[in-house]
Homo-oligomer: A and B are copies of this chain.
């Protein structure tokens, strides 16, 4: 006598993500997710193998959203204009999702799957290739992503609170990086 499913994996992941966005990863407890989807905590194990797996699923979805946001920023015109647009979209995404963005790259938090992470930064690789050349595309893209991610981590973490203009530092970095890739 089968019992009807009262929720779905997608709903569980969505609930988990909402909790992360609102109150941070540490607030993502099985009990709270269960309450959000209208079941009891033990039943969640019909959908996910463990809390860590759920966190990873949430992280993967955030990475996919980031990929889409970066894709949308590529205009197909001047490569340097595109790179600036992609970086602006990168920062906008992180500021729009301050609690879940860190999940995409941080090792400790939970760890996205390598595929999702690679997918997220694919747009950067494409745009950078046109600037730095095929030969340097990979290290150049890694340089750009490393800088952007490091900057955003520090910005979200409040590392820039004391003195100076954060927007100015971002613009400075973008300009210098674009120039450096060209050379």
Contact = CB atoms under 8 A, between A and B. Distances in A.
A60 B146 CA distance: 24
Main secondary structure of the interface of A (DSSP, over half): helix
Interface residues of A, number: 47
Contacts of A180: 176-177, 179-180
B118 A162 contact: yes
A88 interface: no
Interface of A: 24-26, 102, 105-109, 111, 114, 117-118, 136, 138-140, 142-143, 145-151, 153-154, 156-164, 168-169, 172-173, 176-177, 179-181, 183
Q: Considering the complex of A and B, which 5 residue pairs feature the smallest CB-CB distances, nearest first?
A: A150-B150, A107-B157, A180-B180, A146-B150, A139-B172
